[in-house]
Structure 1
Amino acid sequence: MKIAVAGSIATDQLMTFDGHFGELLREALPQVFVSFLADELVIRCGGVAANIAFGLAQLGMRPVLLGAVGKDFEEHRASLRGLGVECDFIHVSDKAHTARFICATDRDDNQIASFYAGAMAETGAIRLVPVAEQIGGLDMVVIGASDPGAMLAQAAECRANGYPFAADPSQQLPRMNGDQVVELITGADYLLTNEYEKSLLQSKAGLTDEQLLELVRVRVTTLGKDGVEIAERDGATFHVAVPASIETPDPTGGGDAFRAGFFAALSWDLSLVRAGQLGSLVAGLALENIGAQEYQVDPTVLLDRMRQGYGEEAARDLARHLS
């Protein structure tokens, strides 16, 4: 399957705070001035599209990464290329730095974050048709969070050219109004959100669960420690549990890793349930590390976790696709 992953490409600055943000905020309100001493800082490669492409490559696929970056991206580009990610279609800005995600996580896994868009504002310069023409078609386009105008243009281009696509608006939902949300998701084969994002999306667009599934073929809602819910337009709904509790030094990137596992499974013609299971396992690998692109997929470990979490048949289904 030829998968293009469009969205943000960023540098992550991740800090940890050995305290509770809730206590700081209670003391700070209503002035909303919060200052705290971070205990650790790590700088990692990130961005939702780059994270998903990284995960797909870890699973043996060669995804096409689409996004806009600054001239400071070259080291990150070399790393992704080394894994098998196609980076030739990335737009390089002449004037802006690569986007930057700055996030602090407290002892309860609460986060305070900010995002500098930088070169991401130029994502609209990317077109899907030339990409499809050069690589021989597109079997799936994952439209992740980037410039909202570019996301809408990508969805329109998919509809106009018959490219199957997944809508994954995540952090950009607060910047979009109801009409834009509906425009983005209409005709999507898959809609991916977490539970909060699903609620926000439906509130902005004024959609019930039933109306949502009139616009998209499959709704995928991640529920954190409670797993994932997958609902199809025909009424079938599946719940995939998380197989085991995970020690999580940093929750950043778990959702993107889930998407990598999910779409890898679909590319192997596995069922939606298997896709949810593999997504959950890959998310677990990511969550065990600090940084969204720091984990490695060991086929032996992955198969063992699939067997322990979901049974022997699930492991056999996966084994045919892992080397």
Structure 2
Amino acid sequence: MRIAVTGSIATDHLMVFPGRFSDHLLAEQLDRVSLSFLVDTLEIRRGGVAANIALGLGRLGLNPLLVGAVGPDFEDYRVRLQSHGVDTAHVRVSASRHTARFVCTTDADRNQIASFYAGAMSEAREIDLAPVASLAGGLDLVVVSPNDPQAMLRHTRECRELGLDFAADPGQQIANLEGPDLRQLIDGATLLFTNEYEATLLCKHTGRSREEILSVVGTWITTRGAEGVLVQRFGRPDELVPVVPAAEPVEPTGLGDAFRAGFLAAVSWGLSAVPAARLGCALASAALEVVGPQDYRLDSESLSTRLRGAYGAAAAEELIAHLIGTSQVGGRR
């Protein structure tokens, strides 16, 4: 299965605040917030939603196409992605803008406050998917993840025009888009990904109920933190997939991206949504145990142990069979 992942490619600046944001937010003064948090650590990591998902897919033995826009400072990052099996030939390099920056502070309760500088990402709206699909010999699925909003709308429109299946992953951009644009992003999607907060926001901004949204997408996957992953398919009972516990939780940036990589890899192997969600949860637990969205290690043995421990041997078996047969699952960083 040939997957193109469109979306942000960024550098992450990750900081940890040892206290709790809630202790410093005054309910009666939320309209006049002026706060500075003294952080303990700063970690600079490569990230961006599309790059995170593509790298996870590459580590699981797929060869995804990464589609996005970056600055001239991208070359080292390109080499790293290619070493993990990611095709970066369709990444646009801006002549004048830096690669996007994500600046995030996490508190003791793993709440996060973040800012995002788009930079070169704003040029993603100039990327045409038709040549990408042609050069790659055809695409089986296009992931439309958080990106320049106009790029997201263009890619979704092109998927419909070209007859390409697409996965809608509007994420953080839900807050920045009007109802008609959001409806354009999700209508006809084979897959829809959100977290629980985004799901509520999506219903509010589109003016649709969950049932109405389900009627226009194939499958809706909602990550719910420690409560698990909700799998919804129109006309079928909902299913809740438990999380895979992390041994020592460290930092949550990129958990959703790791989950999506695992989920999409399992789908590419022909598996259904529930086992796909289990593999996604296994990758997410590995990502939670390290700082940064891409520095988790993967190997078939550790993933098999996580899956058996969380879901039992019988449920994990079909996933493990694919992992063992995937030579590229390994500990490369």
- Taking structure 2 as the reference length, what is the TM-score of the superposition? 0.95
2: distance between equivalents of 1:104 and 1:79?
Answer: 25
Q: Which residue of 2 aligns with 1:73?
A: 74
1: distance between equivalents of 2:315 and 2:126?
Answer: 42
Q: Find out whether 1:2 has 2:14 as its counterpart.
A: no
Deviation beyond 4 Å, 4+ runs, structure 1? 27-30
Q: Which residue of 2 aligns with 1:249?
A: 250
Q: Which residue of 1 aligns with 2:331?
A: none
Q: Which residue of 1 aligns with 2:123?
A: 122
Q: Deviations 1:69-107 (Å, cap 9, x if unpaired)?
A: 000111111100011100000000011000000000111
Could you tell me which amino acid in structure 2 is paired with residue 204 of structure 1? H
Q: Which residue of 1 aligns with 2:154?
A: 153
Could you tell me which amino acid in structure 2 is paired with residue 70 of structure 1? G
Q: Deviations 1:246-280 (Å, cap 9, x if unpaired)?
A: 53221100000000000000000112110010000
5+ residue gaps, structure 1 = none
Q: Is the 8 A contact 1:123 1:150 kept in 2?
A: yes
Could you tell me which amino acid in structure 2 is paired with residue 24 of structure 1? H
Q: Deviations 1:199-233 (Å, cap 9, x if unpaired)?
A: 00100001112110121111110000011001112
Query: Equivalent residue of 1:321, what SS?
Result: helix
Query: Equivalent residue of 2:32, what SS?
Result: coil
Q: Which residue of 2 aligns with 1:185?
A: 186
Query: Equivalent residue of 2:215, what SS?
Result: helix
2: distance between equivalents of 1:240 and 1:287?
Answer: 18
Q: Which moved more, 1:299-308 or 1:41-50?
A: 299-308
Q: Which residue of 2 aligns with 1:36?
A: 37
1: distance between equivalents of 2:247 and 2:161?
Answer: 42
Distance 1:246 1:195, change over 3 A: farther
C-alpha deviation, 1:129, in angstroms: 1.1
Q: Is the 8 A contact 1:68 1:90 kept in 2?
A: yes
Identity, % of aligned positions:
51
1: distance between equivalents of 2:30 and 2:248?
Answer: 32
Could you tell me which amino acid in structure 2 is paired with residue 97 of structure 1? H
Q: Which residue of 2 aligns with 1:200?
A: 201
Q: Find out whether 1:322 has 2:308 as its counterpart.
A: no
Q: Is the 8 A contact 1:67 1:91 kept in 2?
A: yes
Q: Which residue of 1 aligns with 2:329?
A: none
Q: Which residue of 1 aligns with 2:296?
A: 295
Q: How do residues 1-323 of structure 1 correspond to structure 2 at under 5 angstroms?
A: 1-26=1-26, 29-244=30-245, 246-323=247-324
Distance 1:197 1:246, change over 3 A: farther
Could you tell me which amino acid in structure 1 is paired with residue 20 of structure 2? H
Could you tell me which amino acid in structure 2 is paired with residue 23 of structure 1? D
Q: Is the 8 A contact 2:286 2:297 kept in 1?
A: yes
Q: Deviations 1:267-306 (Å, cap 9, x if unpaired)?
A: 0011211001000010111111100010111110101111
Query: Equivalent residue of 2:278, what SS?
Result: helix
Q: Is the 8 A contact 1:225 1:245 kept in 2?
A: no
Could you tell me which amino acid in structure 2 is paired with residue 178 of structure 1? G
Q: Is the 8 A contact 2:246 2:289 kept in 1?
A: no
2: distance between equivalents of 1:235 and 1:64?
Answer: 32
Q: Is the 8 A contact 1:58 1:296 kept in 2?
A: no
Query: Equivalent residue of 1:108, what SS?
Result: coil
Could you tell me which amino acid in structure 2 is paired with residue 303 of structure 1? S
1: distance between equivalents of 2:31 and 2:157?
Answer: 43
C-alpha deviation, 1:320, in angstroms: 2.2
C-alpha deviation, 1:312, in angstroms: 1.4
Q: Which moved more, 1:242-251 or 1:197-206?
A: 242-251
C-alpha deviation, 1:178, in angstroms: 0.5
C-alpha deviation, 1:245, in angstroms: 5.0
